[in-house]
Amino acid sequence: MAKLKLASYWAAACGGCDVAILDVHEKILDIAAAADIVFWPIATDFKYSDVEAMPDADIDVTLFHGAIRNSENEHLARLLRAKSKILVAFGSCAHIGGIPGLANLFSREDILKRVYLETPSTVNPEKITPDPRTAVPEGEITIPVFHDAVRPLNQVVEVDYYVPGCPPTPAQIWNVVQAIVSGQLPEKGSVVGASEKTQCDECTRKKQEKKISGFKRIATVQPDPDTCFLEQGFLCMGPVTRGGCDTRCQLSGVGCRGCYGPPPGVLDQGAKALSAITSVIESKEEADVQRIVDQIPDVLRSFNRFAIPASLITRKVL
């Protein structure tokens, strides 16, 4: 059998997804035995021009990490879509927008102003901000256009499969690789490398009935190491997050923040969190509920840590 052609690319990403692939350790040799890597910027020296020169649908599978933040990300998404038989949105950023998607709560102008003019470590007396085109004595040089908002991969091109996680666990990556190599991928459009249950279903912390009489912060109170975070009043996105990561955060002593995205059947993870978590507040008195909800610091970014660009509203609109 001919070897598979495999590509891995990062758009607006942190590189953690690529490192998670390398974290399969010596199994990377099995991957190399089954597949030729034809494009992988973190590990190989192929250029964009090499990808452009490939015939359409030449790559069997592209693992695409990172969100679509600028025109280069969008160009590579379209290019790799055309060159790949199977395009996988790999990791939270490509799947639902991820951490870069938090930028959708601010305008493009506010971000550029903060980064290039206002931060305490910035020295920029000429107040230079990035320009897509810059004339230099030798000609013109260009950088990508910074878009108004961040988009997950499927808002730009058709996506065949989704692998959730920030980053996906190496064990799940290995499961996905095996499914690819053996040709046993499920129906197109499926989430792979995760479970069909919620974090709570897979969590080993002691659970009773969830009744919250107040919220606490781990910055000021030490949680009990064995009991459900939410029952103790610490925020946990477990009820509204897909399982499959072996509850890594909860085992490390912090509540889930939702990187595996919404569980099956949930459209908007943040909205679901708002209804699920507020519905277990003990009091039914409106003023009391308000007082308790006010104890959650930063509701918007806590309930929508990874999924703003994939939510129903997708970005700040006012």
Amino acid found at 21 = I
Site for ligand SF4 contains 276 (CB under 6 A): no
Task: Select from 31, 230, 273, 310 the one that contacts ligand SF4 (CB under 6 A).
Answer: 230
Cβ 306 vs Cβ 91: under 8 Å: no
The verdict on whether omega for the bond into residue 167 sits within 30 degrees of 0, i.e. cis, is yes
* Among positions 54, 256, 271, 276, the unique one binding ligand SF4 when judged by CB under 6 A: 256
> Which of 5, 6, 31, 70: binder of other proteins (CB under 8 A)?
70
- Spatial contact of 66 and 73, defined as CB atoms under 8 Å apart: yes
Quote the tokens at residue 107: 């305008």
Residue 308, judged by CB atoms within 10 A of its CB (0-12, 13-18, 19+), counts as buried
| Shorter beta-carbon distance to ligand SF4: residue 233 or 238 | 238
Of 63-102, which residues contact ligand SF4 (CB under 6 A)?
Answer: 65-66, 91-93, 98-99
Rank residues 54 and 167 by Cβ distance to ligand SF4 and give the closer one: 167
Phi then psi for residue 294, to 5 deg, are -65, -15
Residue (7 or 181) nearer to other proteins, CB: 7
Segment near other proteins (CB under 8 A); pick from 141-149, 190-198, 239-247, 283-291: 141-149
Task: Say whether 181 sits in a helix, a strand or coil.
Answer: helix
Query: Binding mask 10-49 vs other proteins (x if CB under 8 A, - otherwise)?
Result: x-xxxxxxxxx--------------------xxxxxxxxx
- The Cα 112–Cα 170 span in angstroms is 35
Q: Which does 228 bind (CB under 5 to 8 A by kind): ligand SF4, other proteins, none?
A: ligand SF4
Min separation Cβ 177 and ligand SF4, Å: 16
